[in-house]
Amino acid sequence: MAELNLVEAVNQALAHALEHDPAVVLLGEDIGANGGVFRATLGLQQRFGAERVIDTPLAETAIAGTAVGMAAMGLKPVAEIQFSGFLYPALDHLINHASRLRNRSRGRLSCPLVLRTPCGAGIHAPEHHSESPEAMLAHVPGLRVVMPSSPARAYGLLLAAIRDPDPVIFLEPTRLYRLFRQDVADDGEALPLDVCFTLRGGTDLTLVSWGAMIHETEAAADALAAEGVMAEVIDLATLKPLDMATILESVARTGRCVIVHEAARTAGLGAEIAAGLAEEGLYSLLAPVQRVTGYDTVIPLARLEQQYLPSVARIVAAARRTLEEAS
Protein backbone atom coordinates (compact mmCIF):
# COMPACT_ATOMS: atom_id res chain seq x y z
CA MET A 1 0.00 0.00 0.00
CA ALA A 2 1.45 3.34 -1.05
CA GLU A 3 1.51 6.46 1.08
CA LEU A 4 0.10 9.19 -1.16
CA ASN A 5 -0.88 12.81 -1.02
CA LEU A 6 -4.24 13.84 -2.45
CA VAL A 7 -3.07 14.72 -5.96
CA GLU A 8 -1.20 11.41 -6.19
CA ALA A 9 -4.35 9.60 -5.08
CA VAL A 10 -6.30 11.32 -7.86
CA ASN A 11 -3.63 10.20 -10.33
CA GLN A 12 -3.83 6.64 -9.02
CA ALA A 13 -7.63 6.55 -9.34
CA LEU A 14 -7.47 7.89 -12.90
CA ALA A 15 -4.85 5.30 -13.83
CA HIS A 16 -6.96 2.51 -12.36
CA ALA A 17 -10.04 3.67 -14.26
CA LEU A 18 -8.14 3.95 -17.55
CA GLU A 19 -6.60 0.51 -17.10
CA HIS A 20 -9.83 -1.31 -16.25
CA ASP A 21 -12.46 0.50 -18.35
CA PRO A 22 -11.78 1.16 -22.06
CA ALA A 23 -14.64 3.69 -22.15
CA VAL A 24 -12.77 6.10 -19.83
CA VAL A 25 -11.02 9.02 -21.54
CA LEU A 26 -9.40 12.10 -20.01
CA LEU A 27 -9.39 15.56 -21.57
CA GLY A 28 -8.23 19.01 -20.53
CA GLU A 29 -5.66 21.72 -20.97
CA ASP A 30 -2.07 20.50 -20.62
CA ILE A 31 -3.10 17.19 -19.02
CA GLY A 32 -0.99 15.11 -21.43
CA ALA A 33 2.73 15.82 -21.78
CA ASN A 34 2.70 18.26 -18.85
CA GLY A 35 0.56 16.09 -16.58
CA GLY A 36 -1.80 18.93 -15.69
CA VAL A 37 -1.21 22.18 -13.86
CA PHE A 38 -0.99 20.32 -10.52
CA ARG A 39 0.38 17.09 -12.11
CA ALA A 40 -2.80 15.13 -11.36
CA THR A 41 -2.46 13.35 -14.72
CA LEU A 42 1.32 12.99 -14.67
CA GLY A 43 2.51 10.07 -16.80
CA LEU A 44 -0.96 8.97 -17.90
CA GLN A 45 -0.65 10.03 -21.55
CA GLN A 46 2.69 8.23 -21.84
CA ARG A 47 1.09 5.11 -20.33
CA PHE A 48 -2.32 5.08 -22.06
CA GLY A 49 -1.74 7.11 -25.24
CA ALA A 50 -2.84 10.44 -26.66
CA GLU A 51 -6.21 9.06 -27.80
CA ARG A 52 -7.28 8.39 -24.19
CA VAL A 53 -5.48 11.27 -22.44
CA ILE A 54 -6.28 14.21 -24.68
CA ASP A 55 -4.67 17.65 -24.57
CA THR A 56 -7.22 20.30 -25.49
CA PRO A 57 -7.02 23.99 -26.35
CA LEU A 58 -7.38 26.57 -23.58
CA ALA A 59 -11.16 26.61 -23.98
CA GLU A 60 -13.35 25.54 -21.05
CA THR A 61 -16.56 25.76 -23.09
CA ALA A 62 -15.12 23.36 -25.65
CA ILE A 63 -13.87 20.96 -22.96
CA ALA A 64 -17.30 20.72 -21.34
CA GLY A 65 -19.18 20.51 -24.64
CA THR A 66 -16.86 17.81 -25.95
CA ALA A 67 -17.25 15.86 -22.72
CA VAL A 68 -21.06 16.00 -22.97
CA GLY A 69 -20.91 14.70 -26.53
CA MET A 70 -18.50 11.91 -25.59
CA ALA A 71 -20.73 10.86 -22.68
CA ALA A 72 -23.87 10.85 -24.83
CA MET A 73 -22.11 8.53 -27.28
CA GLY A 74 -21.12 5.95 -24.66
CA LEU A 75 -17.71 7.08 -23.42
CA LYS A 76 -16.90 8.03 -19.82
CA PRO A 77 -15.03 11.34 -20.12
CA VAL A 78 -13.16 12.80 -17.16
CA ALA A 79 -12.58 16.46 -17.97
CA GLU A 80 -10.20 18.75 -16.09
CA ILE A 81 -10.69 22.49 -15.66
CA GLN A 82 -7.42 23.95 -14.40
CA PHE A 83 -9.00 26.13 -11.68
CA SER A 84 -12.63 26.42 -10.61
CA GLY A 85 -12.47 30.17 -11.28
CA PHE A 86 -12.30 29.29 -14.96
CA LEU A 87 -15.27 26.93 -14.72
CA TYR A 88 -17.89 29.56 -15.57
CA PRO A 89 -17.58 29.38 -19.40
CA ALA A 90 -18.34 25.64 -19.05
CA LEU A 91 -21.57 26.19 -17.09
CA ASP A 92 -23.71 26.49 -20.23
CA HIS A 93 -22.95 22.89 -21.18
CA LEU A 94 -23.17 21.63 -17.60
CA ILE A 95 -26.48 23.32 -16.80
CA ASN A 96 -28.24 23.19 -20.15
CA HIS A 97 -27.04 19.82 -21.41
CA ALA A 98 -25.13 17.53 -19.01
CA SER A 99 -27.58 17.88 -16.13
CA ARG A 100 -30.68 17.53 -18.35
CA LEU A 101 -29.74 14.79 -20.79
CA ARG A 102 -31.45 11.96 -18.89
CA ASN A 103 -34.63 14.00 -18.40
CA ARG A 104 -34.60 15.43 -21.93
CA SER A 105 -34.29 12.00 -23.54
CA ARG A 106 -36.80 10.39 -21.12
CA GLY A 107 -34.06 8.09 -19.87
CA ARG A 108 -32.82 7.03 -23.31
CA LEU A 109 -29.50 8.80 -22.79
CA SER A 110 -27.39 9.42 -19.71
CA CYS A 111 -24.36 11.64 -19.27
CA PRO A 112 -21.66 9.74 -17.35
CA LEU A 113 -19.09 12.51 -17.30
CA VAL A 114 -16.89 13.68 -14.45
CA LEU A 115 -15.64 17.24 -14.40
CA ARG A 116 -12.66 17.66 -12.07
CA THR A 117 -11.39 21.03 -10.92
CA PRO A 118 -9.23 22.36 -8.09
CA CYS A 119 -11.06 24.70 -5.73
CA GLY A 120 -10.69 26.77 -2.61
CA ALA A 121 -8.25 29.20 -1.08
CA GLY A 122 -5.08 28.83 0.93
CA ILE A 123 -2.25 28.60 -1.62
CA HIS A 124 -1.63 32.34 -2.17
CA ALA A 125 -2.98 32.19 -5.70
CA PRO A 126 -4.05 35.15 -7.86
CA GLU A 127 -7.67 36.13 -8.55
CA HIS A 128 -9.92 33.43 -10.07
CA HIS A 129 -7.70 30.63 -8.68
CA SER A 130 -9.30 30.23 -5.21
CA GLU A 131 -13.04 30.02 -5.87
CA SER A 132 -15.48 27.92 -3.81
CA PRO A 133 -18.42 27.42 -6.21
CA GLU A 134 -19.98 24.36 -4.57
CA ALA A 135 -23.29 26.01 -3.59
CA MET A 136 -23.84 27.36 -7.10
CA LEU A 137 -23.19 23.93 -8.62
CA ALA A 138 -25.29 22.13 -6.01
CA HIS A 139 -28.25 24.31 -6.97
CA VAL A 140 -28.39 22.73 -10.45
CA PRO A 141 -30.82 19.78 -10.63
CA GLY A 142 -29.13 16.79 -12.22
CA LEU A 143 -25.57 17.56 -11.11
CA ARG A 144 -23.94 15.55 -8.33
CA VAL A 145 -21.25 17.53 -6.45
CA VAL A 146 -18.45 15.76 -4.57
CA MET A 147 -15.49 17.15 -2.60
CA PRO A 148 -12.94 14.82 -0.91
CA SER A 149 -11.00 15.82 2.19
CA SER A 150 -8.24 13.20 2.24
CA PRO A 151 -6.17 11.11 -0.21
CA ALA A 152 -8.07 7.88 0.56
CA ARG A 153 -11.45 9.54 0.08
CA ALA A 154 -10.23 11.21 -3.11
CA TYR A 155 -9.26 7.81 -4.55
CA GLY A 156 -12.49 6.03 -3.59
CA LEU A 157 -14.87 8.86 -4.39
CA LEU A 158 -13.29 9.59 -7.77
CA LEU A 159 -13.66 5.95 -8.80
CA ALA A 160 -17.30 6.07 -7.70
CA ALA A 161 -17.82 9.29 -9.67
CA ILE A 162 -16.35 7.77 -12.84
CA ARG A 163 -18.63 4.72 -12.49
CA ASP A 164 -21.74 6.84 -11.90
CA PRO A 165 -24.11 6.98 -14.90
CA ASP A 166 -24.86 10.68 -14.41
CA PRO A 167 -22.70 13.85 -14.35
CA VAL A 168 -20.50 14.46 -11.32
CA ILE A 169 -18.61 17.65 -10.48
CA PHE A 170 -15.51 16.58 -8.54
CA LEU A 171 -14.07 19.52 -6.60
CA GLU A 172 -10.51 18.98 -5.38
CA PRO A 173 -9.36 21.30 -2.55
CA THR A 174 -6.12 22.81 -3.83
CA ARG A 175 -4.84 23.38 -0.31
CA LEU A 176 -4.96 19.63 0.35
CA TYR A 177 -3.15 18.48 -2.79
CA ARG A 178 0.18 18.14 -1.02
CA LEU A 179 -0.73 18.93 2.60
CA PHE A 180 -0.33 15.40 4.00
CA ARG A 181 0.02 11.75 3.04
CA GLN A 182 -1.84 8.62 4.03
CA ASP A 183 -1.97 4.98 2.96
CA VAL A 184 -4.12 4.48 -0.14
CA ALA A 185 -4.67 0.96 -1.45
CA ASP A 186 -4.85 0.73 -5.25
CA ASP A 187 -7.55 -1.92 -5.03
CA GLY A 188 -10.22 -0.31 -7.22
CA GLU A 189 -12.63 -0.06 -4.30
CA ALA A 190 -14.99 2.88 -4.65
CA LEU A 191 -16.39 4.73 -1.67
CA PRO A 192 -20.13 5.34 -1.52
CA LEU A 193 -21.48 8.57 -2.94
CA ASP A 194 -24.33 10.49 -1.33
CA VAL A 195 -23.36 9.67 2.25
CA CYS A 196 -21.49 11.61 4.93
CA PHE A 197 -18.45 10.23 6.72
CA THR A 198 -18.42 10.54 10.49
CA LEU A 199 -14.75 11.12 11.29
CA ARG A 200 -15.02 11.09 15.07
CA GLY A 201 -17.79 10.49 17.55
CA GLY A 202 -18.99 12.94 20.18
CA THR A 203 -21.85 13.63 22.54
CA ASP A 204 -21.85 17.39 23.16
CA LEU A 205 -21.79 19.03 19.75
CA THR A 206 -21.88 18.22 16.03
CA LEU A 207 -19.36 19.90 13.72
CA VAL A 208 -20.21 19.64 10.01
CA SER A 209 -17.76 20.58 7.26
CA TRP A 210 -16.21 19.40 3.99
CA GLY A 211 -13.13 19.75 1.81
CA ALA A 212 -10.10 21.55 3.18
CA MET A 213 -11.98 23.00 6.14
CA ILE A 214 -12.27 19.52 7.64
CA HIS A 215 -8.75 19.99 8.95
CA GLU A 216 -9.47 23.19 10.87
CA THR A 217 -12.68 21.54 12.08
CA GLU A 218 -10.84 18.50 13.42
CA ALA A 219 -8.26 20.79 15.06
CA ALA A 220 -11.13 22.66 16.70
CA ALA A 221 -12.56 19.34 17.92
CA ASP A 222 -9.16 18.56 19.45
CA ALA A 223 -9.13 21.94 21.21
CA LEU A 224 -12.65 21.40 22.53
CA ALA A 225 -11.73 17.91 23.74
CA ALA A 226 -8.96 19.47 25.83
CA GLU A 227 -11.74 21.45 27.55
CA GLY A 228 -13.81 18.32 28.09
CA VAL A 229 -16.23 18.94 25.20
CA MET A 230 -16.72 15.93 22.92
CA ALA A 231 -17.50 17.09 19.40
CA GLU A 232 -18.68 14.79 16.63
CA VAL A 233 -17.10 15.65 13.25
CA ILE A 234 -18.98 14.94 10.02
CA ASP A 235 -17.42 15.23 6.56
CA LEU A 236 -20.17 15.79 3.98
CA ALA A 237 -18.01 14.47 1.08
CA THR A 238 -21.00 14.46 -1.32
CA LEU A 239 -22.44 17.96 -1.22
CA LYS A 240 -25.33 17.21 -3.58
CA PRO A 241 -27.39 15.18 -2.88
CA LEU A 242 -26.99 15.97 0.80
CA ASP A 243 -27.10 13.19 3.38
CA MET A 244 -29.25 15.02 5.94
CA ALA A 245 -30.18 11.77 7.66
CA THR A 246 -26.67 11.38 9.12
CA ILE A 247 -26.60 15.01 10.28
CA LEU A 248 -30.05 14.77 11.85
CA GLU A 249 -29.14 11.56 13.64
CA SER A 250 -26.01 13.18 15.06
CA VAL A 251 -27.80 16.35 16.18
CA ALA A 252 -30.54 14.24 17.77
CA ARG A 253 -27.83 12.93 20.11
CA THR A 254 -25.75 16.11 20.64
CA GLY A 255 -28.43 18.82 20.43
CA ARG A 256 -26.04 21.36 18.93
CA CYS A 257 -24.55 22.00 15.51
CA VAL A 258 -21.84 24.23 14.04
CA ILE A 259 -21.39 24.25 10.26
CA VAL A 260 -18.01 25.25 8.82
CA HIS A 261 -17.26 26.19 5.22
CA GLU A 262 -14.89 28.52 3.44
CA ALA A 263 -17.33 29.53 0.69
CA ALA A 264 -19.21 32.82 1.02
CA ARG A 265 -21.89 32.85 3.72
CA THR A 266 -25.00 34.03 1.87
CA ALA A 267 -26.96 31.16 0.28
CA GLY A 268 -24.11 28.78 1.04
CA LEU A 269 -24.52 25.09 1.81
CA GLY A 270 -24.41 25.95 5.50
CA ALA A 271 -27.74 27.72 5.07
CA GLU A 272 -29.20 24.63 3.39
CA ILE A 273 -28.06 22.39 6.26
CA ALA A 274 -29.38 24.84 8.86
CA ALA A 275 -32.73 24.93 7.06
CA GLY A 276 -32.85 21.13 7.03
CA LEU A 277 -32.22 21.08 10.78
CA ALA A 278 -34.98 23.66 11.31
CA GLU A 279 -37.44 21.67 9.21
CA GLU A 280 -36.74 18.17 10.52
CA GLY A 281 -34.62 18.48 13.66
CA LEU A 282 -35.85 21.57 15.45
CA TYR A 283 -36.99 19.71 18.57
CA SER A 284 -33.56 18.11 18.93
CA LEU A 285 -31.77 21.45 19.07
CA LEU A 286 -30.74 22.82 22.45
CA ALA A 287 -29.23 25.97 20.93
CA PRO A 288 -29.34 27.88 17.62
CA VAL A 289 -27.30 26.45 14.76
CA GLN A 290 -24.06 28.36 14.18
CA ARG A 291 -22.27 28.94 10.87
CA VAL A 292 -18.55 29.70 10.54
CA THR A 293 -17.92 30.67 6.94
CA GLY A 294 -16.00 32.78 4.49
CA TYR A 295 -17.28 36.30 3.87
CA ASP A 296 -19.47 37.74 1.12
CA THR A 297 -16.49 39.14 -0.72
CA VAL A 298 -14.19 38.13 -3.53
CA ILE A 299 -11.67 35.75 -1.98
CA PRO A 300 -8.73 38.03 -1.17
CA LEU A 301 -5.18 37.74 -2.35
CA ALA A 302 -2.40 36.28 -0.23
CA ARG A 303 -2.04 39.11 2.28
CA LEU A 304 -5.60 38.78 3.61
CA GLU A 305 -6.34 35.18 2.67
CA GLN A 306 -6.02 33.81 6.20
CA GLN A 307 -8.33 36.55 7.47
CA TYR A 308 -10.98 35.27 5.07
CA LEU A 309 -10.69 31.56 5.86
CA PRO A 310 -12.44 30.21 8.96
CA SER A 311 -9.84 29.62 11.65
CA VAL A 312 -9.71 27.10 14.48
CA ALA A 313 -10.30 29.97 16.90
CA ARG A 314 -13.50 31.06 15.09
CA ILE A 315 -14.83 27.48 15.09
CA VAL A 316 -14.08 27.00 18.78
CA ALA A 317 -15.73 30.34 19.60
CA ALA A 318 -18.89 29.32 17.72
CA ALA A 319 -18.92 25.99 19.54
CA ARG A 320 -18.63 27.75 22.89
CA ARG A 321 -21.58 30.01 21.98
CA THR A 322 -23.78 27.00 21.34
CA LEU A 323 -22.70 25.40 24.60
CA GLU A 324 -23.30 28.59 26.61
CA GLU A 325 -26.72 29.14 25.07
CA ALA A 326 -27.69 25.58 25.87
CA SER A 327 -26.56 25.67 29.48
Query: Does residue 129 have an active-site annotation?
Result: yes
Query: Cα–Cα distances in Å, from 211 out to 56, 93, 119, 173, 187?
Result: 28, 25, 9, 6, 23
Provide the greatest CA pair distance for the chain.
Answer: 63
- Separation of alpha carbons 243 and 166, rounded Å: 18
Torsion of CA 98, 104, 107, 110, to 10 degrees: -20
Helix (H) or strand (E) holding 156: helix 151-163
Asked if 164 and 144 count as a contact pair (C-beta separation under 8 A), the reply is yes
Instruction: Select from 12, 101, 14, 97 the least CA-distant residue to 54.
Output: 14
Asked if 262 and 132 count as a contact pair (C-beta separation under 8 A), the reply is yes
Catalytic one of 93, 97, 129, 261? 129
| Residues labelled as active-site residues | 129
